[in-house]
Each structure stands twice: as C-alpha cells, then as structure tokens.
Structure 1
Amino acid sequence: MELVRSHDLTIFVVTETRIQGEAAKRVISSLPFAGRSIVDPIGFSGELWMLWKLNAFILDIIKKDEQEIQAMVKVRHSNFSWLFSGIYASPKFSKRLFLSNNLIEVSDRLNLPWLLAGDFNEILRPIDKIGGRNINWNRAKFYNNCMDHYNLIDLGFSGPRHTWSNHREDGSLILIRIDRA
C-alpha cells in the first residue's frame, strides 16, 4: 500500500507474492485498483498480478499464462493506446524460451509502443551480478539478442541496482539485477 500511495500508481504489476487463495484476495481487495488480472501460482512458484485504476485506463487482456500478462492499454480521454506486458519469467531457462517465442510473436504482429516490466530472471551484463558463479554468457547473449530483436531500451532504475539477493552474510552474498522495465 505504501508503494501505491507514495508513487501514485495507476498500473501495478506484482510478481512472486508468496501468498495465494483467500490471503491474496484480501491483499488485492485492500489496494485501490478495481481492474485486475491474476495468474495464480503453481505451488509457491510464480504468481503474477496486474492491477489498474479504471478511471485512468481501459485494459484489454490479450493473453495471460504463468510467465506473462499482456494487455492492450487505452488511455481514457485520448486515442493513445499501447501494449503492456507484465513479466514473471521462469527461473528455468527452457521455460523462458517459450516466453521469448510468445513475445516475438506479439512484437512481429503489433506496431504499437510497448512496455515490458517485471522479473526477467536473467541478467544482461556482468555489472548486474555480484558474487556467486560466473554469469552464463550464452544466456546473457540470448537475453541481449531478444532485446535487440524487439528494439527495446532498458529504462534504467532508481534505488538499488540489484533487485534480488540471497541475503547471506557469511561471505557468499549474491546480488543480481533481474527486474527491469
């Protein structure tokens, strides 16, 4: 609620909430978003919420599955429309390939401004990771090639560079930037 209040959010994507069922419904109902599209978790893995304020946008959900919610967004009181994809990419690279193919299909079919945001579970550059094993250059190259194919630009960030941590303090701390827009 503090994020929504302090940033005056009109569209809010939440990934990996680690809550489900009635508890998830209570949290969603407590937020000031009448529009909602939910992808339920598989066990405690995944989960994706796209929430929006109805007075700001008309959202038409085009597709949703365990890794994405794609919506056509029309700004109320204007003719401006754009595509928004809320992403929770699987930690498994083989499953992320399915997501990549879905996104290629969309980008080849639609000619609209497009925002992708969420947890991509992959890094782009070595600076995106501190600690742990070396980065997998083939996977990083694949991710970079996908961004090139879609003509995407990383919007950057404010706040901490790294969006995931293993929270270890015994000298094996790992920090990674896997969330992007």
Structure 2
Amino acid sequence: MSLIAWNCRGLGSPRTVRFLREITQQIKPSFIFLSETLAKKSRVIEVCKTINYAGCWVVESQGQSGGLALIWKNEGSCTLRESNTHFIDFEVENEQVGRWRYTGFYGCPEWGRKRESWNVLRTLAEKSNLPWCVIGDFNNLMYANEKRGGPEYPRSMLTGFVETLMECNLMDLGFTGERYTWEKSRGTSHWVQERLDRGVATQAWSDLFPDAEIKVLEVAPSDHLPLNLQLNRQVYMPKAKRFRFENVWIKEKDCLQLIKNSWASTEGETIMSRIQLCCIKLEEWGGGVKQEFRDKLANCKKRLRQLRTRRDMQGAIMYKTARWEYLNLLEKQEIYWKQRAKQFWLREGDQNTRFFHKYAATRKRANTIQRIQNSEGEWKETIGEIQDVITEYFSGLFQSEGNDGDLSQGEKVKEVTDEENEGLIAEVT
C-alpha cells in the first residue's frame, strides 16, 4: 500500500491533472491527499473520474485559497473521522495489522497563525489512541538546515513546531530523494528552498510499518514536490525478459513485411533459429514504438534531478526548460494514445481510450501475486515474504514423509533393461 500527499496549488490546470494521471499510473497509490486544490467539489469529482479512482472527500476552497481533497482507489477502504480547512482525518482497516489512523494535514502559511496549526495537531492527538500517521504540507520547519536561501527561519517557530510534535508523540519519518519540497524564485537572487512537506507518526504506527519510507518525487507542475509514502518498502527484483508478441503489431502495416523479410533471410536454418531471429527483429522494431515516450520521460526526470541543486542562472534556465519539456511530453503522450485508440481500437473499444487501458490493467492485476497465505494462515505481502512462502510450500511438496527408504519384505522393483534405457535417453525427434 502507498499514499501520495501533494500541495498541488490548484486543480484547474490541465497540466496538474495530466501529472496526477501519470503518477497514479506509475505508483498506483491507495490514497491521494491534495491541499490547496482551489476547487469546488464538482471539480475534484471530475478529476477523480479522470484518473479512474473510486471516490473522494472534499473540503471546498474558500474563495481563491485553500481546499483539501482525499481521493481513494477502492470503495470501503477507509472511514472518515473528521475534516476542516486544515485536515482530513480518517481510519484505514488493514487485514494484517488492524485499524490505524491517517491524517492529511495543511498548516497555516501565515506567520501569525502558525500556533493555530500547532493547536489543531494537539487537538487531533487527543481524539484517538490508534496508531497514527500525519502527512502533508505543514508550512513549518523542524530545523534551521531545512531552509536554503532567504532570511534565517525564526528559532521560536522551529522550537514551537518541534515541541508540538513531541507533545503529540509524533516523530519525523525522514525521507529519500530531494531535500527541499518547496521553492520560489528559482534562478534569481531571492531563490528560497524549504522542506515544508513531511510525514510524522507515533511509535505505535512505526511499529506496525517498520519498513515504511517516504520518497520525495523529483518533479511536479506545482512549487511543492509530492510525497510518496510506501508502507512496505519495495525491493528491486530483476525480471527475466521474454518475448511477447503484441496484438497491436498486427495493425501496423510494416509488421507483415518485417516477418517475411526475417523468414527469407534465415532460409536453411533450423525452425527454432528462424523463430528466435524473427522475435529479435520484432522486438527491435515494435519495442521502440512502446518505449519512446517512456525513455524520454525518464531522461527528463534524470536531467531535472541533476539540475535541481544548481543555483546558477544557467542551471535555473536549463531546469525550467527541462521541466517544460517533461510536462509537454506528458501532453504529447496523452494525444498519442488517444490517436492510437481511435485508429486501432475503434471497433473493439467504441472510441473509448479507457477500454484498452482498463483491459490491460485488469489482466495485470489478475496475473500479479499481491499477497499469499502461509501454512499457518498468516498473510504475507512483501516480495521476500511471498518468495519464502512459495519456496517452503514446494520444498515440502517434493519431500517424502513417513518412509525410511527401505522396501517391505517381498516387494520387488522392476529393473530397466538396456534396450529400454537407450530409448529413454535417446534424443527427442
């Protein structure tokens, strides 16, 4: 399970919605908490449907400021406790660990109202003893080194925020990725960067999810970077690559000619050699079509990571250019898939671009082991635990039980003759 928390600075921009669609397809979070939506409920519901999520809870904006939204992937996955302009508080039911509490938080940005945010946290802490996690834009720093550029952050504000967290028994969850989650005036003498967004939790919550990790995503159309809370840290497992013939290739006019050319060039070879070479040619040709946008987006993200820490004028210009290119690629990718949907899936999908995306996603879900039950009835979800359960099962399956290997008296075993042995070891034809 994972969660996204992001100060999106308005849901009115198509770029913001496009970015949300991209990260939901990549990360597949169970919940998304958005602050400063600057939107009414109708707009949030529209966005929710666009990214194909089941439901949402909305705190509408007040004029041209504020606004919160909690969006969830599956119905019945959470229970709302309370909400106002500062937070959305809800409970999550988990079969493995039981109930726990999650609060999406938005702190007051005005200096004179910081203590108001702290008092809200104190009030929330008193309302439940459930394991508790709070994540969002606190508009506060814990330490002086969480700011770069601009005037020094007031020590009284640092101390007040840290003391509030201690009173609430909340501890910082740390992060990986970008150090600063918010910035303004990049490339100018007034450039400021701060870590305003974070996740904090009680010790009881950390005991439930000892492998939990917050990743700061490297790029966003807002001046805030999104936070991705992974409850079970993902371990990279390299997958064995195998050839898959894509049905969509049949619709390409070059596909048949490529197969004919490959088959003609290997005349005289064994059938397996000819098939293998044909597969290689198809992957070289068809794989490029699939990978083009993915590779370009990955390169853009890599450049953005490298340029983000540069504070010179040229670096700032290059960062803005790369960021524009990334957002523009998202737009082009969307147009590309819509065109392909009309061209190749007109009959099957009735001009509905969701048709083939939903079909592929459903098949992938059906073929993915998300959790497994061991011999003691316990559910296991992480990659390592799932592998251990499978290994244990098949190791026991092929072991004999209750037999010391001795044959009972009078029992005979038929011997394999030399002629029969020759037939068994002969090469398959």
Tell me the TM-score normalized by structure 1. Answer: 0.88
1:25 to partner: Cα distance: 3.4
1:170 to partner: Cα distance: 2.1
Specify every segment of 5 or more residues in structure 1 that has no aligned partner in the other structure, as ranges.
none
Q: Which shows bigger deviation, 122-131 or 88-97?
A: 88-97
Q: Which shows bigger deviation, 21-30 or 43-52?
A: 21-30
1:45 corresponds to which residue?
A: 65
1:53 to partner: Cα distance: 2.1
Query: For 1:68 and 1:95, how far apart are their aligned partners in 2?
Result: 15
Give the 5 Å matches for 1:34-113: 34-54=54-74, 58-75=77-94, 77=95, 80-113=98-131
Between structures 1 and 2, the one with greater strand share: 1
Between structures 1 and 2, the one with greater helix share: 2
1:144 corresponds to which residue?
A: 162
- Local SS of the residue matching 1:124: coil
1:89 to partner: Cα distance: 1.1
Closer, same or farther: CA 79–156 of 1 in aligned 2, 3 Å = closer
Query: For 1:58 and 1:172, how far apart are their aligned partners in 2?
Result: 44
Query: For 1:89 and 1:162, how far apart are their aligned partners in 2?
Result: 17
Q: Cα deviations across residues 58-116 of structure 1 (Å, max 9, x unaligned)?
A: 322111111111112222x4561111110111212444433322322232232111010
Specify every segment of 5 or more residues in structure 2 that has no aligned partner in the other structure, as ranges.
1-20, 200-429
Query: For 2:103 and 2:168, how far apart are their aligned partners in 1?
Result: 13
2:191 corresponds to which residue?
A: 173
Query: For 1:177 and 1:62, how far apart are their aligned partners in 2?
Result: 28
Q: Does 1:30 align with 2:63?
A: no
- Which residue, out of 17, 21, 33, partners 2:37? 17
Query: For 1:96 and 1:62, how far apart are their aligned partners in 2?
Result: 24
Q: How many residues align?
A: 179
Any conservation in 2 of the 1:46–1:90 contact (CA below 8 Å)? no
Query: For 1:106 and 1:66, how far apart are their aligned partners in 2?
Result: 14
Q: Given residue 111 of structure 1, which amino acid in structure 2 is its aligned partner?
A: N
- Which residue, out of 161, 166, 178, partners 1:160? 178
1:114 corresponds to which residue?
A: 132
Q: Given residue 85 of structure 2, which amino acid in structure 1 is its aligned partner?
A: E
Q: Given residue 104 of structure 2, which amino acid in structure 1 is its aligned partner?
A: G
Query: For 2:82 and 2:22, how far apart are their aligned partners in 1?
Result: 29
Q: What's the Cα RMSD here?
A: 2.0
Closer, same or farther: CA 18–109 of 1 in aligned 2, 3 Å = closer
Taking every aligned residue pair, what percent have the same amino acid on both sides?
A: 26
Tell me the TM-score normalized by structure 2. Answer: 0.39
Any conservation in 1 of the 2:39–2:60 contact (CA below 8 Å)? no
Q: Say which structure, 1 or 2, has more relative contact order (CA 8 Å, 6+ apart).
A: 1
Query: For 2:145 and 2:153, how far apart are their aligned partners in 1?
Result: 10
Q: Which shows bigger deviation, 97-106 or 34-43?
A: 97-106
Q: Given residue 170 of structure 1, which amino acid in structure 2 is its aligned partner?
A: T
